[in-house]
Structures are given as C-alpha cells and as structure tokens.
Amino acid sequence: MHVETSNILECNITGRDLKESVEQIRDTIGGKIEERWGEYVLTVNNSNATGEIRFITFDWGVNLLQLEMVFHKECIISVDASKFNPIQFIYCLKGYCRHSFDYQKRINTIEQHQSVIITSRYGGYNYAYFPKDEKLVLNVIKVVREKYLKKRLNNVFQLKNQLFQVFTDKKQEKAYAHFGALNFKLLNKIETLQKIKKKGITRILLIEGIVYQILSMHIQEYEYLMIEKNSPKVLLEGELKLINDLAERIANSVSHEYSLENLSKETGLSKAKLQEGFKVLFGRTVTEYIRHVRLETAIDLISKNDMNMSEVMYAIGFSSRSYFSKIFKEKYGIAPNDFKNRLKLPVKEIIDAS
C-alpha cells in the first residue's frame, strides 16, 4: 500500500524477499523492472524520481541492492519486518538519507562515506527517509541470517560483542543499529563493483566475489571500532577526506616523485597523521601505498600496451630496473619480463572427446 500527495511519497513494504520489496517500491514511484542473468534493474524516469535500483539475490543468504536515485518528492518508506528482516550493511557513496525504528522518536542520519549496520526486531518497522532533489547513491548488502549461517563458510563465531548476537539472534527479538565512522576503503571497493563491464555469468560471478569482500570490510570496520584499534576517530573527518583525495591524486599520477616530507607540507598534515590516515584508509603506510599503486599500474601497462620494460618502468616513476624487477617479483611471484612473455602465449583449449 502507498500514499502519494503532491509533495510526498509514502510506501509501506511488506514483501517476503528483496524482489517483492522492490516491486512494491516500483508500485509507488513507478518505473519498469527488467531482469538479466539474475540481476534485476528498476529504472525510473518520471515526476516522482529519476535513477535506478539494481539488485541480486545470491543462494548463500545474501542480497545486494544498489540505489542511484534522485527523488523529486520527499519519500518515506516503511518496512514491515514480519516477513523479511535481514541484517543490512549500508554504505552511502553520495548524498545522505535518514533512518528510524518504530519504537523510537530519534531519526538518525546516514552520512556520505559512512558504514552502517541495521536490523529490526521481528514484527517491527524500519523507516527510511529520502530527501527531495538530492542525488543519493547507496550500496546495501542484506544478510538473511538463517540461510547465511547454513549455506556459507563464515567466521560468525569469531565476531565481537553485539554483532555476534545480531547474527545468532534466530528469533530476531532485538533491533540493532550501528552508525560507524567514515570508511574510504569501502568506497574504493564499491566503486570497483560499479565499474564491472562484463556481461552474463562472468559479471554475476565478479559481483558475487566483490560483495563478499565488501561484507567482510563492513565487519572489520565494526570490529576495529569495538576494540578501538586503527579507529578512524583518531583523525577528523576533513583530514580523512584530504588524505583520500591525496591518495587518488597519487594513483592518477604514479610517475611523480613523492616524499613523505613534501606530502606533509602540501597537505598541512603531520607525517604521523599522514601515516595513520593511510593505514586507516588503505591498510598501508604512505610508501607502501605509493609502491602498490605503481605496481598495479605496471600490470595494466604491460597487459594493455606494447611498451618495453624500460618504458613501463619510467612511466610508473622507477629509475632502477633491478629494483623494479625485485619488488614486482616480491608482489606477484613472477619477474615482469616473464609476466609479459606469458601474456603472449597462445590460448589452448582441451576438449574431452570421450
């Protein structure tokens, strides 16, 4: 059931699964749902909203929903948790939205670049509030507890504190909400998911692998905060954004000569804060990050360009061929020349004629 006025959209979701839930959203905001290889896309372009919702259901109890939408009216969605009440791992790539439970007056904001974990109690309601004329991009992984615990090898019994209780709450007696810190590692991983261009079963398999990584990263972020280890709260929000912007610039200009001292002067951040920020966001020191993105670029150049090894080396900012070969082999287990030669080998197919 839904209510539509001139200024607001209201939708009550009572679906038994993700597909039914998105169909009920469609009934409110309009649009058309199409399916290919198990991936569904709701496309909307009308006076209510413009954008799309993509969703996939995997057989191990996990659902992926990706929303990229501008609502032209304020939209309020109430979700009845009587039939479908997964644990939701939410990441906001762009914009913001708000959430509340039926039993509380407080409405919490899901901020850009924030990692959030939410689940309702059985029979309760979640309320999602979407602002008018705000570009919103969300990545949501929905975990169906019972199915996930049965179908997938997992480390649930190693989880800390309340998250363990959330996963093992089979009767879904308690609601839970965790509004985490900014997390740019999740941003980078989700952007990788969005850039997949393959089609068919290859696309679905690639998405499934990255979804599992994203889910793991949500859990890791939660556990780091619980034990106050590598917590992003050590740094201010503006400082984390500054460091993430710096990392993107380094990745886009790998041949430039970088030093920790110069980067510190350029950003106005201390060397210690830079090192801490890179460890929080990328799990690497500044030097390790620079070396990582240079070697990843080298792989791309060797694979996609007819460049000799000296050209590749200079293009990524190395002047010593022996050093380049050494760290390349340490990272990938093969010398760069051997890697290039293997790319030239013809593909062989073996057909079983029996």
Residue 141's contacts (CB-CB under 8 Å, 6 or more residues apart) are 62, 63, 64, 65, 88, 89, 211, 214, 215, 218
Is the pLDDT at 78 greater than 90? The verdict is yes
Averaged over 272-294, what is the pLDDT? 89
Is the pLDDT at 233 greater than 60? The verdict is no
The CATH homologous superfamily to which domain 235-343 belongs is Homeodomain-like (1.10.10.60)
Predicted model pTM? 0.71
> Which amino acid is residue 122, in one-letter code?
Y
Phi, psi of 239 (to 5 degrees): -70, -40
Q: 178 pairs with which residues across the strands?
A: 117
**Structure token digits, residue 354:** 């029996």
User: Count of residues for the chain?
Assistant: 354
Whole-number Cα distances in Å, 260 to 99, 323, 329: 41, 20, 25
The CATH homologous superfamily to which domain 2-226 belongs is Jelly Rolls (2.60.120.10)
Extents of the domains making up the chain: 2-226, 235-343
Pick from 282, 281, 313, 286: which is nearest to 297 by CA? 313
Among the ranges given (23-32, 34-43, 177-186, 253-262), the one the predictor scored with the smallest mean pLDDT: 177-186
Is the pLDDT at 343 greater than 80? The verdict is no
pLDDT tens profile 104-113: 888 999 999 9
Where are the alpha helices (H) located in 145-285, listed in sequence order? 145-151, 161-167, 184-194, 200-226, 237-252, 260-267, 271-282
Do domains 2-226 and 235-343 share one topology? The answer is no
Tell the residue number behind the tokens 């939205």, with chain if given.
97
Burial class (CB in 10 A: 0-12, 13-18, 19+), 290: buried
pLDDT tens profile 125-172: 999 999 999 999 999 999 999 888 876 555 666 676 678 888 888 888
Output the average pLDDT for the chain: 88
pLDDT tens profile 6-17: 689 999 999 999
Burial class (CB in 10 A: 0-12, 13-18, 19+), 43: middle
Is the pLDDT at 351 greater than 60? The verdict is no
**What pLDDT shows up at residue 160?**
62
Q: Which tops the pLDDT comparison, 283 or 262?
A: 262
Burial class (CB in 10 A: 0-12, 13-18, 19+), 151: middle
pLDDT tens profile 302-322: 988 888 899 999 999 998 999
Q: How far apart are CA 14 and CA 21, in angstroms?
A: 7
**What pLDDT shows up at residue 41?**
97
